[in-house]
């Protein structure tokens, strides 16, 4: 008979866990990392996991500042804190579409209550759907499902028990990135983008001067960064030159002037805005669906396991490490939320939409919970799930006669809740895996996740309204690429006004890339985003490649770099929020020194070198 797994803290031992310290710190980190990831996702269309940085920070505060020795308390901090990042990821990939329609005069601008209520329903459902699956996925499948991020987070906390981890690395990354971000977007003495025109190809190559992008590249690694950069090269060095070369004297929808005139007036960026982003949208949509299709066998098995998990929930003993929230409370919570979704005016979906949300929410929530156990949160096809849900929900609403602005808002609300459900279920699974290894009390972790979801839902509403007021979604500062794609999909189904030829060109690019054995989603995102983003991300990937090649056996190399880069992402995001506040209250011009000092492209190049050097210095093993 196989011996039962023994956690680090035995079930019979009771240590501080769900304390005022852990709750307050967790809520602070939920807001901080939620806001930072919202800003990052709205800029580049992707987010990063906050679990490990939250764990490191909690260790630094609880062990070193408060002089307390409780690994479960630190675990509770990261459990609550990571909820903010996951909820933000689901929300910012969909809900900005409502703001984009408001700018077009299609509907009113969403208020704080609307955004927060949609986010809250998705966040709570994501946690509730996961709870009955814990025994089946975390306990019974221990040793089968690795849950990479959850296991890594447990290892970080265990290393902290032995004095191995240092939160100062994260804080240093935050400080350096905050200073660089303030120089670029605060006092504005350095341009945010450095650009070189390539007239022979009628295009340009550019790079943004932002530390978070270098951090994203380092964390994602050289392969993903290279795939994204390749997508950008296809768009800017193949398609834009071809469109200008062959269509100089042609007026082609959705453009309203000849392509030659568009290029003369706005350069390569004008061609990208009018044509390439639609090709990229088709590529991202196809890649998301491909990732979903590839996962179908796993999806079917997961759904069967989910049903079995509900049947066996509560059958494990009553020891501390086996305690889950009461299944009756879970069912009651789901029913109440479903009724609220159907009747609340802030969620214009009706009972049909509520049914779609519950059915697809449980389905994709259980899928997400298992898939992150196999491939990790970074490879979880949440966007594919959202796209599939949007297509079905929009078609269903259209068939029932719910069209126009009301139907489009309803479709995005359904897609938003499902996207948040999938993201939160995956995050909850990783956190419960960490807790299982450490010996945490599952019931307390689940309550912590619910608390984190509540505070994150209301904070993300404020952050989204703040960012929209400062710069506006769809702008150069906040491109909101994923939400723009979701908006295109809903409009395409409702009105049929998409340039389908461009969409299908992008779709077949993704199909061709997938046939070659290359992950199409990363290439598609690079094609969809401006080249200036993926080129800076590539710089971070190159630093990671060099570190991995030069110090392959180092224990504290890339790991320290990941923590430093996580801090950089958080630091830039927080300064971005601060600058948004200054812009909204109208005092941003008081710190603008661009009229006095302008270091130009040389200054941007120098800052870029500083960013890359900082990542390298913190990533290389100590003493090397």
pLDDT along the chain (624 residues), means of 10: 73 87 90 83 71 75 74 90 86 90 90 93 94 80 75 74 63 88 89 88 89 84 89 93 90 83 87 84 78 68 60 59 85 94 92 90 79 63 71 85 88 92 90 92 94 92 89 82 82 78 90 91 83 90 90 62 80 80 80 85 92 91 70
Virtual torsion, Cα 309, 137, 333, 350, nearest 10 deg: -90
Region for residue 163 given its phi and psi (left: phi exceeds 0; alpha: psi -120 to 50; beta: otherwise):
left
Three-state secondary structure call for residue 197: strand
Contact (CB, 8 A) for 408 and 491: yes
CA 184 to chain centroid: 24
Q: Give the per-residue pLDDT at 499.
A: 80
Residues with Cβ within 8 Å of 588's Cβ and at least 6 positions away in sequence, in order, are 579, 582
Q: What is the pLDDT of residues 356-368, one digit of tens each?
A: 899 888 877 877 7
- The pair of structure tokens assigned to 378 is 């970074």
Residue 155 and residue 373: Cα distance in Å, rounded?
A: 16
Output the CA–CA distances (angstroms, integers) from residue 200 to 171, 195, 203, 494, 596, in the order listed: 45, 15, 8, 41, 35
**Residue among 477, 473, 594 nearest 533 (CA):** 477
Which pLDDT belongs to residue 48?
64
Q: DSSP character for 249?
A: T
Per residue in 198-219, is it b (16+ CB within 10 Å) or e — as a string?
A: eeebbbbbbbbbbbbbbbbbbb
Q: What is the pLDDT of residue 338?
A: 95
* Residue in 535, 519, 498 with CA at minimum distance from that of residue 284: 519
Tell me what pLDDT residue 384 has.
63
What whole-number distance in Å separates Cα of residue 371 and Cα of residue 299?
8
Q: Are 238 and 222 in contact (CB under 8 A)?
A: no
CA terminus-to-terminus distance, the chain: 48
Helix (H, G, I), strand (E, B) or coil at 123: helix
For Cα atoms 483, 484, 487, give the angle at the middle one, nearest 5 degrees.
85
Q: Residue 272 has what pLDDT? A: 86
DSSP H or E stretch at residue 118 = helix 112-130
Give the list of residues 6+ apart from residue 264 with CB closer than 8 angstroms, or none.
none
Strand, coil or helix: what is 193? Answer: strand
Residue 117 tokens, joined: 């209520």
Going from the C-alpha of 285 to that of each of 100, 248, 266, 585, the distances in angstroms are 19, 29, 27, 38
Helices in 498-555 by DSSP H: which ranges? 500-515, 520-528, 531-550
> What pLDDT, on the 0 to 100 scale, is given for residue 36?
81
∠ CA 345-349-354 to the nearest 5 degrees?
110
Reading the block at residue 169, the tokens are 């690395």
In degrees rounded to 5, what are phi and psi of residue 44? Answer: -120, 0
Task: State residue 524's pLDDT score.
Answer: 85
List Cβ neighbours of 260 (8 Å cut-off, separation of 6 or more). 244, 247, 248, 249
The Cα–Cα gap between 351 and 344 comes to: 11
């Amino acid at each position: 008979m196989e011996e039962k797994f023994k956690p680090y803290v035995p079930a019979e031992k009771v240590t501080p866990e769900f304390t005022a310290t852990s709750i307050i710190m967790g809520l602070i980190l939920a807001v901080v990392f939620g806001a930072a990831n919202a800003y990052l996702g709205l800029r580049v269309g992707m987010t990063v996991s906050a679990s490990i940085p939250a764990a490191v920070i909690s260790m630094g505060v609880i062990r070193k500042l408060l002089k307390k020795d409780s690994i479960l308390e630190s675990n509770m901090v990261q459990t609550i804190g990571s909820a903010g990042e996951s909820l933000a990821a689901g929300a910012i990939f969909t809900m900005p579409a409502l703001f984009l329609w408001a700018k077009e005069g299609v509907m009113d601008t969403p208020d704080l209550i609307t955004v927060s209520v949609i986010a809250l329903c998705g966040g709570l459902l994501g946690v509730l759907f996961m709870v009955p699956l814990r025994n089946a996925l975390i306990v019974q499948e221990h040793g089968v499902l690795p849950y990479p991020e959850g296991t890594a987070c447990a290892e970080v906390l265990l290393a902290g028990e032995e004095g191995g981890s240092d939160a100062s690395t994260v804080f240093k990354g935050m400080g350096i990135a905050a200073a660089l971000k303030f120089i670029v977007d605060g006092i504005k003495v350095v341009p945010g983008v450095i650009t070189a025109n390539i007239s022979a190809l009628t295009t340009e190559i550019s790079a943004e001067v932002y530390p978070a992008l270098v951090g994203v590249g380092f964390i994602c690694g050289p392969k993903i960064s290279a795939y994204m950069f390749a997508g950008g090269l296809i768009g800017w060095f193949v398609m834009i030159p071809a469109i200008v070369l062959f269509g100089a004297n042609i007026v082609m929808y959705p453009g309203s002037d000849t392509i030659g005139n568009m290029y003369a007036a706005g350069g390569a960026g004008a061609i990208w805005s009018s044509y390439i982003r639609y090709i990229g949208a088709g590529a991202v949509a196809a890649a998301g669906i491909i990732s979903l299709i590839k996962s179908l066998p796993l999806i079917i098995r997961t759904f069967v396991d989910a049903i079995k998990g509900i049947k066996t929930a509560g059958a494990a003993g009553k020891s501390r490490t086996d305690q889950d929230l009461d299944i009756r409370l879970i069912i009651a919570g789901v029913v109440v939320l479903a009724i609220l979704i159907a009747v609340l005016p802030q969620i214009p979906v009706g009972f049909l939409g509520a049914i779609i949300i519950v059915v697809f929410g449980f389905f994709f929530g259980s899928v997400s919970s298992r898939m992150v156990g196999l491939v990790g949160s970074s490879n979880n096809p949440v966007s594919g799930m959202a796209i599939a849900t949007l297509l079905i929900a929009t078609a269903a609403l259209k068939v029932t006669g719910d069209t126009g602005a009301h139907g489009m808002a309803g479709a995005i609300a359904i897609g938003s809740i499902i996207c948040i459900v999938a993201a939160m279920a995956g995050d909850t699974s990783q956190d419960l895996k960490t807790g299982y290894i450490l010996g945490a009390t599952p019931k307390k972790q689940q309550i912590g996740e619910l608390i984190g979801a509540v505070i994150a839902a209301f904070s993300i509403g404020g952050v989204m309204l703040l960012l929209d007021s400062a710069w506006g979604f769809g702008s150069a500062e906040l491109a909101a690429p994923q939400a723009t794609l979701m908006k295109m999909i809903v409009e395409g189904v409702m009105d049929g006004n998409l340039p389908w030829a461009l969409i299908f060109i992008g779709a077949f690019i993704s199909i061709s890339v997938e046939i070659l054995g290359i992950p199409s989603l990363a290439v598609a995102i690079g094609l969809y985003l401006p080249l200036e983003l993926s080129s800076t991300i590539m710089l971070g990937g190159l630093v990671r490649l060099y570190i991995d090649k030069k110090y392959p056996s180092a224990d504290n190399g890339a790991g320290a770099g990941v923590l430093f880069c996580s801090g950089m992402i958080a630091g830039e995001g927080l300064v971005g929020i601060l600058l948004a506040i200054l812009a909204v209250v109208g005092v941003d011009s008081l710190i603008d020194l661009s009229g006095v000092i302008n270091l130009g492209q040389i200054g941007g190049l120098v800052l870029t070198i500083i960013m890359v050097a900082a990542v390298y210095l913190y990533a290389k093993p100590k003493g090397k």
